[in-house]
Amino acid sequence: MSFRHHFDPTSLREYDIRGVVGESLTQDDAYAIGRTFGSMVARAGGSTVVIGYDGRLSSPALEHALGAGALASGMTVLRIGRGPTPMLYFAATTLGADGAIMVTGSHNPPDHNGFKMVLGNRPFFGEQIRELGQLAANGDVVAEATGTMRDVNVIPAYVERLLRDWDGTDRPLNVVWDSGNGAAGEILSLLVKKLPGRHRILNAEIDGTFPAHHPDPTVLANLEQLIAAVREEGADLGLAFDGDADRLGLVDNTGTVLWADQLLVVLARDILRDHAGATVIADVKASQVLFDEIDRAGGTPLMWKSGHSPIKMKMAETGAPLAGEMSGHFFFADRWYGFDDGLYAALRLLGIVSRLRGPLSDVRLSLPTAVSTPELRFACADTRKFTVIVEVAARLERSGACVSTIDGVRVTTPDGWWLLRASNTQAVLVARAEGTSAAGLERLKAAITAQLEASGLRAPDFSGTPGLH
């Protein structure tokens, strides 16, 4: 049977393939991904692909079509079933698979879904995704063959491996968890039964309609239920996951959010005790406070591109034991495998909190403060967003501004810094600013507004955004 397939061009993203189910993403797309990716694995000398899926309503059907495509490329397909994306990474690593594909919409709305891929134990992204699209369009795949498929239950091994790195004390912690009706539910329920202390799980049932709130812990509104529960329970901390549990959100004992760069400070201080001078990587959206605190703790801070794939590649290149992003991805290569795993990051954090002499809020209050906006995301067409960044960068270069173009534009001024970048996963631009004073922050926001207006765009609503971070 001849094979050719054209994907909706908006679905071929930088780090994954993603779209609206039934519109820009279909079961035919899933089959084509399996057929083409399987061919790429075969041509690289491999034969085994692990596949899994998250809790979205569309995921089982997409996973079925994906598996059929991989089978038609002669692959041995290992189906690990429903669970978090990090469990797929764990399975690919421990089972010695040549490739892996996760069906997941991550933190996106319920009608979205997508595919995250690993080839040869390395992230599959960027040019490789574009190559997959071109191969499918040309029908350039291996001859149709009949592969084999079997189900593999990796849940017990994954939970046991997570628990192996528990390094806390006997101090019993009171912890509230919010699974967000996402894919963490089953694993989290098994995990807490083996941990000391008291544990309450909110929204543990996996439900792809996400009835409680949207599964994105970087948005304050999605943490309100967790904040209320932490205060009600008098808990030591609260932890939240996104839809596929590769990201982590944190609330301290007072119900105050520690954003991802603040959490990374806590993790980095702990790791740098055993890895003096080690590199710790953070993305361009992170606070300057983070980079300063890594340096103060004896580490080597490194600013890098946002996105789980480039962060993982940079970790491998530099030998960094730890990395993190403002989006809540945390990557441990210290005792762990170097991939982002919200459950593992939570476990390591619990060990740290159990060893603290005081409450977690003391750590937060001890950090230097800056006046900042949150990460502001605002609509910009996929066909326009990257062009806008090119236009802004060109104007800044002509003006002699102090600018980093590692990922978008990050501009440093005497008032602090501001950032504008294009999202690689959504049709949005991302802006953030951090000032040394409230007046300085206003000037930084005005600079962002001026650049956007010069490119014919309306600036995001900055009202009510200043705050101590």
Catalytic residues: 106
Q: What is the distance between the alpha carbons of residues 341 and 27, in angstroms, rounded to a whole number?
A: 28
Phi-psi region of 456 (alpha: psi -120 to 50; beta: other; left: phi over 0): left
Cα gap 141→132, rounded to integer Å: 10
Q: Which residues contact 442 (CB under 8 A, 6 or more apart)?
A: 435
- How far apart are the C-alpha atoms of 188 and 412, rounded to whole Å? 41
Gap between the Cα atoms of 163 and 344, Å rounded? 9
User: What is the secondary structure of 3-29 as a DSSP string?
Assistant: ------GGGB-SSSEEEEBTTTB-HHH
Q: Of 355, 375, 379, 402, nearest to 452 (Cα)?
A: 379
CB atoms within 10 A of CB 362: 12
- What is the distance between the alpha carbons of residues 185 and 203, in angstroms, rounded to a whole number? 8
Query: In this structure, what token pair is assigned to residue 334?
Result: 């210290």
Asked if residue 429 lies in contact with residue 385, where contact means CB atoms within 8 angstroms, the answer is: yes
Q: How many residues does the chain have?
A: 469
- What is the C-alpha to C-alpha distance for residues 271 and 293, in angstroms, rounded to an integer? 13
DSSP string across 385-447: HHHHHHHHHHHHHHHT-EEE-SSSEEEEETTEEEEEEE-SSSSEEEEEEEESSHHHHHHHHHH
Phi, psi of 376 (to 5 degrees): -100, 125
**Cβ–Cβ < 8 Å for 226, 241:** no
Question: What are the distances in angstroms from CA 25 to CA 13, 161, 192, 244, 424?
Answer: 12, 34, 36, 18, 17
The helix or strand, by DSSP H or E, that contains position 59, with its residue range, turns out to be helix 59-72
Asked if 219 and 240 touch (Cβ cutoff 8 Å), the reply is: no
Which residues contact residue 149 at a Cβ distance below 8 angstroms, ignoring those fewer than 6 apart?
A: 67, 71, 76, 77, 78, 79
| Longest alpha-carbon distance in the chain | 67
